[in-house]
Amino acid sequence: MEGQERPPRKTQKMQKLKPYEEKTSLVPVRPRLVLDTSLFVNPETQSRFGADVEQAVRNFLDIVRRNKIEIYMPISVFRELSHFTSKEALVLFRQEAIVRAPDIYNLHVPAAILHIFIRELRERINKGLRIAEEAIYREPTPENLRRLRQQYREALRSGIVDSVEDLDVVLLAKEVGGAILSADEGIAKMAEALGIEVYSADYFINRYTKPDEEQV
């Protein structure tokens, strides 16, 4: 109202903002990797970590602990790994790794990936049929049968995600935002199409170990 003085405004003290690096506690991001069994059972990659599968698992876990790496493995892949190594090595692995299935009901994958996969699968099936047709005219000798199996397998399965276990690796990596450590060509191909980084065993060893630490 006129003639009345307004009460003085309460002044708030302006706080001096600290620089971003001072007011925010930045926690170092741990490397996050999703693993496939090929790392331990593929003879070429397994030999980079140890003389056998169990020793490869143990040496790999030593590297993981030293570098504070966060590792994941789909439960389907872990079951697969259990056929190749001891219970003791599996217990050690479970202590370091997060073992779980990808959330397939809430995870979204671009339709283009499915489109490309089906188109490539159709081409491979047609190639497999041609191989089978050519084999009809050969003698059914053991050598010819062996060659047929090899050619048919390469036509249909080489360089493509051909199992639930392989697909689980790719989906879990997409879900958790991790890179994939695998020697499987099919996994690497689909992962790269989804923008997921893929580590080879050689790259992993060169990045996280010193020359004198290999196969401790």
Residue burial 134-171, b: 16+ Cβ < 10 Å; e: rest: ebeeeeeeeeeeeebeebbeebeeeebbbbebbbbbbb
Sheet holding 32-35, edge to edge: 97-99, 70-73, 32-35, 179-181, 198-199
Residues 6+ apart with CB under 8 A from 165: 36, 37, 74, 76, 77, 80
SS3 44: helix
Residue 28 per-residue DSSP state: P
Residue 148's pLDDT is 86
pLDDT at 40: 93
For the chain, 216 residues long, the average pLDDT of each consecutive 10-residue run is 58 50 50 93 90 94 95 97 94 96 94 91 90 86 87 84 94 96 93 94 90 55
CA dist 74 and 80 (Å) reads 10
3-state secondary structure of 208: helix
Name the helix (H) or strand (E) containing 156: helix 142-157
Cβ 204 vs Cβ 48: under 8 Å: no
Instruction: Please identify which residue in the block is written with the tokens 């790994």.
Output: 81
Q: Count how many Cα atoms sit within 13 Å of the Cα of residue 68 in the half-sphere of its side chain.
A: 3
Q: Flag whether the pTM goes above 0.75.
A: yes
How far CA 190 is from CA of 6, 35, 170, in Å, comes to 70, 15, 7
In sequence order, the β-bridge partners of residue 181 are 35, 199
- Helix (H, G, I), strand (E, B), or coil: what is residue 32? strand
**Residue 211 DSSP symbol:** G
| Calpha distance 192→98 (Å, rounded) | 23
Strands 97-99 and 198-199: what pairing? unpaired
